[in-house]
Structure 1
């Protein structure tokens, strides 16, 4: 922040404090004096009320005693307060029994006899008590209270006469005409006050307001003060009260100095406020842009919303901690004995207040600017408040677990609260102990069980993260942790299967590389070899033609391998496009078989073909679907045991066309059917036969692209392939 901006807001803070001072204490000092202050008026009224019931309007106790009466309802109230006769006797018995037992244990026989005698006398009085006796006890109690009050007033007369030495007055009782004169009211007065019909009479109570009486008998009648016994008797007076200048007490002189000191503090505050207002106005006129644009330091911008609000609260707290002591000094309520110390302390308070007020204003402006610039949303997003709210919501994602958490917190809180109550009031153990056993201990058992289950899950998860295969996690019940354990067991099984699949994939990948290398290298080696042979100049024409024929055959073989590999790659990547149309599957099967008629006859195989009863049609890519049938027929020709039958069937079942080929294999296939779908997998593991090993893989991919299914079944040497596609 630029220096001019700092100065501007310091001046604004001084102006604000000056305004609050004028509003709060201005009426007290503007055009006023010490004798018009509230403190003096309160002290002056207290002196008058002090001498009133003792010297001016003293209660006639003898007359009041003569007028005392006991009403029937008071007798009844007295009896009800102390209970029935049996209740009163029981109370006396219990009151003295403990003391009698203690005296007996200590061997104090004399004290025991006296206590028993007093107890028996009281019980006897209770038995003999009738309405007249109760009335007499009440009347006696009332007289006793009045006599004690009269004694209190008599004892206070001398002290009150001393206290009135600082006053002079001439008063007249408005009702009786009786006059009261003390001192000379014509002396030069520091302060005077007149009471008359126009200004208002002086009302003086006949009862000392500071007097309090205690009497067990009258408490039964709910009489706790003298007003309730004799009524609020008061008198009105006219006349004049003065404080002579020569009788002003040192205490009043000190209060007067404090008042003047506080008045100067107020004036100084107002003057500073006016000068600051002028300075702030000048800065605003001269450097408007600088004082209104308040750049925020980077370190504050990087703080989260909680720290920003915390900074504002700290400055506000400091503001209150300095504002009230400072306003009390200006209001004349707090003083130091030494004027220098008082000025220094007041000045320090003033400086700290302005600093805290300035910091509060500036921080609020920064926050307001963030709100206007839409930075407040980012502040809110990065704060802990929405995160905490989100965490609380996440606690109840599993409602049962969230409810258990809240219940445990409540139980633990109440258990701690109850324990504190037992420490303070041990008798509460009677109620606390059953609740502790029936509520707190089961809750703690549940908490320990949940923590133990969580630890089991955490350790199992850690082991799984390290790739370790663990056994089933056993957590009984239907809790959230039990469900989580079930899910973790499923995940463990999935990891195990994934690891198995990964191992299998690695093995097949190795075989793939080996098979591809072998199948590509064999024709390539032949091509290189016969190419070198063709370079010899002494070759005969027959040998040259023979070599060329071999090169052509091996080239075609290499071309077929590469094309099949490229086609499989396209299918695996999803780049294969289908051009579907309505195709007669029966006719397509017949064409595929006709293409290989010569090969079938040359292979010494008996093909048994079972066509469908009617034509079957499906929406397929005719060229691709023909490739499927061609691959399966070629596969059966290559790998069927010579001299055996091959069964080819096309039929409809449940709205699907089923193409089935069954044959007896020439080579032992093993039991793993899925491996036959792998690329470059061949029944002839020695790889002496023609073929790329991609036939079944290509067929499987084409069938999958059409949304059909292809299934292989093995039963010993019996090989069966079933292709299914939806018909129309």
Structure 2
């Protein structure tokens, strides 16, 4: 038992030492930058006081300007006169505004039969009107008015600056100064010199504890904002140079002396506290290595604590940790108050540190217990699911979902709900009226009038709506068994009309789906037929010429010719199979693009160069405008080369002889458009969208070379690049447009 208490006490001591060390770290990191100076006289705070004293000295002594002199120096420019006159508009506007302003006052005075007030308002108005007229009539009169306003503002300024004079006298009693100006022989100082003494005899380290050279310019910098009022009126300010010092015999009761001593005490205390906290942290580290970290958590209260929901324990740990940090920061904030009230502030710091140490112990113990739970993650997840917050959240989500579903169901159709409410109200009202006829037969006539005016029309509307609803039900039953029939009639804007419209749309969708299915079956049949034809043709040739080669009477020349034909048909068959494999691979999406920065113009020119011999041997004339400037895009160069190769190959195979072929590249924004235009030698009678289908050819007789997969492969490659490949057919004019994103 004694050992357990010793362990707990030892851990408490370590916690207190660690808390003390943390508080020292916070205090030094917060206030340390303010106490790195040699003494108070070298701090920015004292420098600010010197600047303030220099401003006061310049204002009240060095460049003192009497009030009358400031008034005499006031001037008024013609621009100021014009601005003063036209500040509220021209003379007519000002007089009109003034009359309107006093008209209300005169009307109120006359309504109250107060003739004296009316006469005063009238005289005041006429005087102001005359004054406005004089201002616009005479420059001298306007100038005098402006001078009077300026003098008034100067007087207000001089009265306002007197509040700073007492501060100036306070500084003047504590600081020594000596200033001269190169533009004047006068010396400004508060140092008493004997006849045989010079300023150097007094202004030295023997008599002064701090000396600072100082210059006072005449500019309008922020440090001389009091002089700005003068700078707009006079230009007689003089620059001064000199020294400001603090005497060694400065009384300790002076504000500067008090600040000096307080800074010295706080500086010693801060660094001593910081050093002690560092020693405390080192001692805590040694004790922790010797005796271990947090105490064992096998106390009797631990099983009860672990029964709490995991989120409650986590929140408790966070709160105790936050409280510990709050106590540490409160210790930091109270540190500089120790010199003002040592006993109270020191005692509060000690109590706060003990409380922070206790909070640290509680936080560490709780953290250790929760960390042990985290090691068993499946059990941790189970505890979280049974936690208080999760239960509350699940309950809230369930209630929200139920309320949302109920509200959604209630307002799926607002008009239907309103109509139902109206119908029920009418039925209830008619039932109530029927009861009234039983109570008093006098109401029988009124009841039949209501029944004829409201009940019968309502009954007709209900019968009509029910019949409409039955037709909708019958139509849906027909659609379910595949009978399409005629569309339902849609009349009005009721929910039933909207339902009938939606059923018509669904019927049209079924029709479209059936057409697409029929088209798909047709294309599938054509695909099988085309594949069989295109594969069987070269294969038949290979078999035929192979049989011929087996004959013994075949001449050597025929044998060579047969082998050449077999080779051609084999290559033809290989191309068909390779193209079929490639288009199947692209359709499955199992293709990787190796994108890089590619000049599309150069790539297109390289493709054309591959066909240079074929183009020269053909009767086609290729026109290539807009092929001078490079156009860059992030693409797979090899794949895009295949697209250009297929498109140019189609142009050579299907273009009308002696016609022109146009290949253009245009950019707009972040899009590049490449178009191939030619005149077809075959009639383009099929659906142009089907040209992208596999094994489709512009030559329906299939007499031309090719697999019929060129456009399908090209479109798949362009789609992989997130581009677009479109076909336009206008008579025999055939145009393929390729769009890609340019490289950003």
- TM-score band by shorter chain is 0.3 to 0.5
Larger radius of gyration: 1
TM norm structure 2: 0.43
